[in-house]
Every structure is written in C-alpha cells, then in structure tokens.
Amino acid sequence: MKTRLLPRASFRQAATGAGRRTPVSYAIASTHVPSRPASSGISQRPGASHVSFPGAVKSAFTSKLQFALASESPSLPTYRVVDQDGRVVDSDFSADLADHEVVALYRNMLLISIMDVIMFDAQRQGRLSFYMVSAGEEAISIGSASVLEKGDVVFCQYREQGVFRQRGFELSDFMNQLFANKKDPGKGRNMPVHYGSKELNIHTISSPLATQIPHASGAAYAMKMQRINDPSIPPRVVVVYFGEGAASEGDFHAALNIAATRSCPVIFVCRNNGYAISTPTLEQYRGDGIASRGIGYGIDTIRVDGNDIWAVREATKKARAMALQGEGRPILIEAMSYRVSHHSTSDDSFAYRARVEVEDWKRRDNPISRLRKYMEARGIWDEAKEKDARETIRRDVLKAFSEAEKEKKPPLRTMFEDIYEELTPDLKAQMQQLAEHLDRYPEEYDLSDFDGGRSGLK
C-alpha cells in the first residue's frame, strides 16, 4: 500500500553528511530501542538446520521443493458433545448445569425463535420496517453467552438476539428497539435489530459488516490496560460475533492480526451458516472455512458444531480461560450451522437455494430440537411442557409487541442530539430552521407520533 521511497544518494549525503556509512535509520533505531527488542539474530551457527530469518524464526531448511498444498491439508474437525439424537458423545463431558438451568437455556432459545417468527410476520404486515431472524443459530448465541461473566464485553453483528436474551434482555427491550419508540436506548435512530445495552455490556450494533471485529480487539486491549492500572478489577474478556461472509472483509484480517500482536484477551466467534445473503461459502472462500485462518495469525482456534449448545458452551468456557492466561491472548471459535431462514425480511432465499434443502435442515438437525431431545432423554422435558412453554412465550411476545407499538416515538430534537457531546451553534441553528419550517407548513407533517409533537423540538 505504501511506497517505501528511497531518496536519491545526493539527498542522503546532503542530509546526513557525506561519507557517513551507517544508514541513518539503523543508527537511530539502535539507540532508541523499543521495549520489545526486534529479533535480530541474523546469523547461522555451523551445522545449524535453519537460519533465524527475522520473519520466521522457527523454519527449518529443506532441500525438497514442495509447496504446502491447501487442498491436501486436512480439514479441522468439528467438536461435538451431543449428537443429533441428543446423546452425549464426548465421554469427558459432564453437564455443569442443574436441570432447571438447562430448561432456562432451552426456554431462551425457544423465546428467540418464537419472537423471530412473530416479528417476521409483523414486518410482512407492514407494522415494522425491517427484521432479521436467527433461526438455526440460537445455540451459538445463547450457548456462548451463557458461559460469559456479566462484566465481559460483547460486540455483535446482527444475528445474535440470543446473546441479548441470555445476558438479560427482556421482551420489552427487544420491542422498544424494533419499534424505535421513546424507550429505545438508541433513541429511534437505528434500524430494527440494531440492539445495544450498556447494562449488559453489549455494544450497539451497526450495519457495516466486520467493523466491530477490530473494535473488539481494541476493547480487549482496554480490558487489559484497566487491569494493569488497577489489578483489583476482575479479569474480563471481549467476545465478538460475525458471520463467515463478514470474515472476508479487511477488518477481519486487521482485527485478528492486531489482537495477536498485542496479546488481546478477545474471543472471535464466527457463525458459519453457509450463506452471506445469496452467496454460498464456495464463493466466499476456498480454504478450510474460517478456522484454518486463525492458525495463520498465531491464534488458538477450534471449530464446533453450532447446533450443539453444549459444544458451544464447552468451547467458549475454555476459550475464556485461555484468553485470560498470561498477558492475554485471542482465541477463534468457528461455529458451524445453517441459516434456516431468509437473510432478512428484504430477502427471499428461495431465489438462490432449494426449498427442499432448507426443509431438510429444519427437519434433520437444529439446535432447539437437539437440546429438546437431550432434555427428554433426561426426563426433564415433555410434550406438555413444550406446548405450555410455547403458548406462554407467544402470549408474552404479543403483549410486549402491542405495548411497544403504542409508545410514542422519541421527541424530534433527538435527531440533532448526540452528534457531538454538546449541540454546536450550527446544530442549534438547524434545529431552529426546522422548527420554523414546521410552523410554516404544519399540514405537511404528522408530528402526532412523536413525544411532545412540535414542542419536542425545543
């Protein structure tokens, strides 16, 4: 990207004194050594099997001309605790949750999936501007969130409703945001599904893909600095979620590389659901998924079955402990799943994939039915409980829905606020211009939805 210009010889002499033989930069670099010395042992001992080139110090020489063939490197395995029939297949596994806690996890998954269906339909009826469901990915978000500490900081992409729910989001919190009413912490500025919560330590979602990944690295560095400045603060990690499509963005590369070089306690969770809108993974990458890239950055990595909430929990739990070891380090988790739903309410996925493929995934394996089978095998769940839970949740969703829909929108002045910490003279003047305009053309605008109506612009 950068031209590394070399000056003309005459320039160099003019600036450094003719006849000086040591390059300037080298001389300065050697007198102002940074805290971490660069590897500079560029020498070879007699009989050594490798030269310590600074760029790859552990590489041995080989006299065999052989390329590492991507096609021949084995695919990373997918970790699983419970199989499709709900049977435990990891003999080392023992459930760390009481039965009622397992049921609570299940109910959260159910709640997300029921809310998704209702809100998707609400959008179809025009009562909501937009929606995105997370069907098929409930175990990834809820499973990983269920093993985090309250103080851990989370960045999401947009298909992680389960994270919000698991960390304490109520139905009213979802609905206030979706309807952009005056109780929405985002003050009605963001599209639906762009949730955020200060109390739950989840940063507000933004639409640009992958931008949150380097944020997570920087936030994790902040966690680390805060502990250096005050060791009494409990250790915290940052968790960031993104899809396999977003991992093609430059920000993914930047984030993993910087997290590794700065030893940031951050867990990267990739939801690999097979599609980025209409683009299948075959057109997204040609390597072994996202997981294989982690190793290239020097990041410890695991691939898990994203339909298995226990596998997601176990992997995240261990990742959290590893991330906090020593000076901190990043971990990558690739959770495999299938996007059962359309990408969003603006998408008809049957335009680019067969209906039968989707139906097959729904029937064959999904995270909710797998946990249900596990619970039924343990005798802590049955058809009656299922029916009751579904009905109760449905009722609660509809109640929260209608309450949020009735709320007023935030006052009009909200549109000018929070650009800067304080309103600038320009913004005050523009608020005034809008106010005068509304007074001149009162019939042209409906202010009745907004809290305070016209007086909300003061």
Could you say which residues in the range 125-184 bind another protein, by CB under 8 A? Answer: 153, 155, 184
Q: How far is CA 421 from CA 9, 412, 416, 424, 458, in A?
A: 51, 18, 11, 9, 17
- Residue from 9, 42, 68, 228 touching another protein (CB under 8 A): that is 228
Contact yes or no for 131/363 (Cβ under 8 A): no
Task: Return the residues of window 199-218 that contact another protein according to CB under 8 A.
Answer: 203-204, 206, 208, 211, 213-218
Contact status: 33 vs another protein (CB under 8 A): yes
Closest approach of Cβ 251 to another protein, in Å? 6
Residue 29 vs 70, nearer CB to another protein: 29
Under rule CB under 8 A, residue 233 binds another protein: no
For 112, the enclosing helix (H) or strand (E) is helix 99-124
- Cβ at position 198, least distance to another protein in Å: 4
- Tell me how crowded residue 89 is: count the other CB atoms within 10 A of its CB: 13
Among 80-88, 98-106, 114-122, 223-231, the segment contacting another protein (CB under 8 A): 223-231
Cβ proximity to another protein: between 101 and 327 the closer is 327
Candidate residues 121, 388, 391, 418; the one interacting with another protein per rule CB under 8 A:
418
**275-276 and 279-280 as β-strands: parallel, antiparallel, unpaired?**
antiparallel
Q: Of residues 63, 66, 94, 229, which one binds another protein by CB under 8 A?
A: 229
Size of site (CB under 8 A) for another protein: 71
Q: How far is the CB of 18 from another protein (least distance, A)?
A: 14
Nearer to another protein, 355 or 440 (CB): 440
- Name the minimum Å distance from CB 368 to another protein: 30
Alpha-carbon gap, residue 18 to 364, rounded angstroms: 77
The sign of the CA dihedral 438, 441, 445, 447 is: positive
Question: DSSP string covering 24-64, please?
Answer: HHHHHHHHS--SSPPP------TT-S----TT-TTPPP-SS
| Separation CA 349–CA 98 (nearest Å) | 39
Exactly one of 59, 75, 261, 455 binds another protein (CB under 8 A); that residue is 261
348-387: which residues touch another protein (CB under 8 A)?
none
Residues 12-31 that bind another protein (CB under 8 A): 12, 14-15, 23-26, 28-29
* CA trace torsion 9, 11, 17, 21 (10° rounding): -30
Q: Is the dihedral of CA 263, 267, 273, 278 positive or negative?
A: negative
